[in-house]
Structure 1
Amino acid sequence: MTLTTEYAVLDHYAPGLRERLSTAGLLANESPESTAIAEWAATDATGLIVPAELGGRGATAVEAVRFQTAVGALAPSLAAATTMHHLSCATLFEAAEDATPDERELIRSLVEQRTVMASGFSEGKPGGSVFRPTMTARREGDDYLLSGRKMPCSLSRSMSLLVASALVDDSERAVVLVFNGSDGLTREDFWKAPVLAAAESDALVLDEVRVESDMVFLTSENDPDDVHEMTGYLWFGLLISAGYLGVAARLVDALAARDAVDPKLFATVLAEVETMRTALLAVAAAFDSGERGGDLSARLALVRWSMREALVRVQSGAREAAGGFAYMQDPELAYAFEAVQVFGYHPPSRRETADKLLAWAQGEDFRYV
């Protein structure tokens, strides 16, 4: 089994979750009626990467990557959806570095209540940047009126809170907290594909949602150099990659369990998975040692770039090694073949990343934000 260490981390931070997900089975976990998100939300893993002083579990980046790899092997939709929750958490606890005592207490209370947080950060648009806010807010008295949309938005049905990025009065960046049920916040069906349907990735539409000032963190004041926001995106890149690594590892374990498999084909697929894991954990370990900023972001971007190609090779090699009858008779295996391909659709786009990697290699600072 290639996931022994990952499952041990999962069991440590979310006791009982692996057993419940395994008992339900992959196809049930991935169906629109899946209870996987609810099972996860009932554990303290909602605060997995949040520092202990803010009410969280304080997992290291290495542990979080291993945790999310295990989740991806059992429930890929859950791994994708919860990555967005962890991005929201990271954004908040990074903002807490410069927050007032009242703001820190707010964040602590949200974490301790196991608040499920959807991420309203920008989606990719042709010719645009995923890191520029598409939502807007304008001041009205002591409050703000927030408008915009996020599609797709994972956890759109299970969320208690939306953590959104917005441009305030066309001049200031801000992180805005919007509670589910707020007037002017609606959900629209969006995700039509059968793969990853359990991630609840529908559209959230905000039409002048009134937000009190204590729910708005102006990052131009607290994070003028975008350091905290860049760190949040490091968490995103690590954890979204880990989920798909888990799907690939599941394919390798399925091949290893077969009565007959070509050793050379198996070794080729196994080598791809182990290389991806080693590279991802190396970036996570550097993060844990205190590295931040452009150089580490560039290294992670390169890992994600290489993973896209490697996952395609894993899928192709596993198909060949398993054979056509396995595809026809094992729906879980067939589903995993399809799920691993979605990695390439997560932002930022390859075009945007390529331009920034070229500039970085030529001596410029690497920045998404």
Structure 2
Amino acid sequence: MFLHEERNTAFEWMPEMAAALETASLLDLERGNPQQLANMFRTFGHPALTIAKELGGAGASASSVAKLHTWVGAHCPSLAIMMTMHHHTVAGMMAARQFFPDIQGLLGLIARDNLLVASGFAEGRTNAPILESTMTVEKTLGGYLVNGSKKPCTMTHHFDVITFGVSCLDPEGRAQIGIGVGFADDPSIERKNFWAVPHLQAADSHEVIFNNLMVPEAMMCFSATIDDQLDDAQQGTGNHWFAIWFQLLVSASYLGMASALASRALAGNKGSQENRAMLLIDLQGATMALRGLAASIDDNRFLRRDLAHAQATRFAIQEAVNRISTHAFEILGGMAFMSSEEIAYLLVATRLLAFHPTSRLASTAFLCEQLS
């Protein structure tokens, strides 16, 4: 059975949501109200999947979460994107909790109340690394005042908690990245509609604006605080937690979308045997690359070279996704395109992986330095 292991994982961790997705129309979900997907995720999708059991979460492995995302991506691309933004952020906070004790309380709250977490980092900014930010932060007696905007931001109208990146100088003049936390009901957070295209519209990706958002000191975590407690080989690890998890989950989600097209092509037994074999080779190669990256995360590998491996894996999967979707589209043929809106929708949706951070151009020097 196609995506057999991924399906088993989905039914193991979220049986009610998996059953609903398996019987629903992909286009009905994609064209529906984002509230429907957010409610499904919050109620049945296990938002605490990557949170440790001692904090009330499931303690799922990266290998399991990656399989889950591939299966969801094949059945509801917009939901897979919602889950990517939530899970990579929560997993990054899990790793950072040893340096910022107050995050542990927030993670416990997320697990207890099934809160959804939006990711307000560098999405949508050309050539920007994932944690880079243009938002400003000002230290005050009460904490930090944050101003700026993030667009697009998935789950704009439906998040409970939002994390975001800020760039600033510490008292010694060192550049550092800060990761702050805000809550949906804060009056300093404004939302503005932004996404105009029909693809992935149900992911609710619009603009979030911060107007003098006050962030308590305990909810603003700076990279220098982590680096000061690490040896030379581990410098930057605090940033890598979020970035590596993101590359894993965004790759898994889009591989799922490409797999949905491939499954339709293979089920019809169309095209030549050679074409079908090439499709299967690309699927297998991308799947094994994804599982290798997940295994390295489960081995707690988050050093600078590991980030390079994660980025390289993502770009390799991105190219495979493009080939898979194109070959599947050709195998299915013009009549399938004219008679099934899902096929055209999935073909375009798979191409959007290229727009997620980090871009190849932004990564070129880093990859050459670390991998050559």
TM norm structure 2: 0.91
Call closer, same or farther: CA 1:86–1:103 in 2, change over 3 Å. closer
8 A Cα contact 1:187 1:202, kept in partner: yes
1:267-286 superposed matches below 5 A: 267-286=277-296
What code does the residue aligned with 2:63 have?
A: V
What code does the residue aligned with 1:235 have?
A: W
Aligned twin of 2:21 = 21
Aligned twin of 2:66 = 65
- What is the aligned-residue RMSD (CA, Å)? 1.9
SS at match of 1:222: helix
Structure-1 separation of matches of 2:252 and 2:127: 28
SS at match of 2:114: coil
What code does the residue aligned with 1:193 have?
A: V
Residues matched between the structures, number: 361
Q: CA deviation at 1:223?
A: 4.3
Identical pairs, percent: 28
Structure-2 separation of matches of 1:145 and 1:8: 46
1:108-119 superposed matches below 5 A: 108-119=108-119
Structure-2 separation of matches of 1:303 and 1:259: 30
Call closer, same or farther: CA 1:254–1:90 in 2, change over 3 Å. same
1:165-244 superposed matches below 5 A: 165-167=165-167, 172-224=176-228, 225-244=235-254
Call closer, same or farther: CA 1:128–1:251 in 2, change over 3 Å. closer
Are residues 1:149 and 2:159 paired?
Answer: no
Structure-2 separation of matches of 1:44 and 1:258: 31
Aligned twin of 2:232 = none
TM norm structure 1: 0.92
Call closer, same or farther: CA 1:258–1:123 in 2, change over 3 Å. closer
Which of 259, 266, 270 lines up with 1:256 in the alignment? 266
Q: CA deviation at 1:269?
A: 1.0
What code does the residue aligned with 2:20 have?
A: R
Structure-1 separation of matches of 2:50 and 2:106: 17
Structure-1 separation of matches of 2:56 and 2:240: 23
Range moving further from structure 2, 66-75 or 285-294: 285-294
Call closer, same or farther: CA 1:103–1:84 in 2, change over 3 Å. closer
Ranges of 4+ aligned residues in structure 1 off by more than 6 Å: none
1:1-369 superposed matches below 5 A: 1-34=1-34, 35-43=36-44, 45-100=46-101, 102-123=102-123, 125-126=125-126, 128-167=128-167, 172-224=176-228, 225-258=235-268, 260-362=270-372
SS at match of 2:47: helix
Structure-1 separation of matches of 2:325 and 2:280: 11
8 A Cα contact 2:47 2:115, kept in partner: yes
Q: CA deviation at 1:168?
A: 5.1
Deviations 1:251-299 (A, max 9, x none): 1211222164432221211111111001110121122123221222222
Structure-2 separation of matches of 1:120 and 1:85: 10
What code does the residue aligned with 2:92 have?
A: T
Structure-2 separation of matches of 1:105 and 1:129: 28
Q: Which runs of no fewer than 5 residues in structure 2 stay unpaired?
A: 229-234
SS at match of 2:150: strand
Call closer, same or farther: CA 1:42–1:127 in 2, change over 3 Å. closer
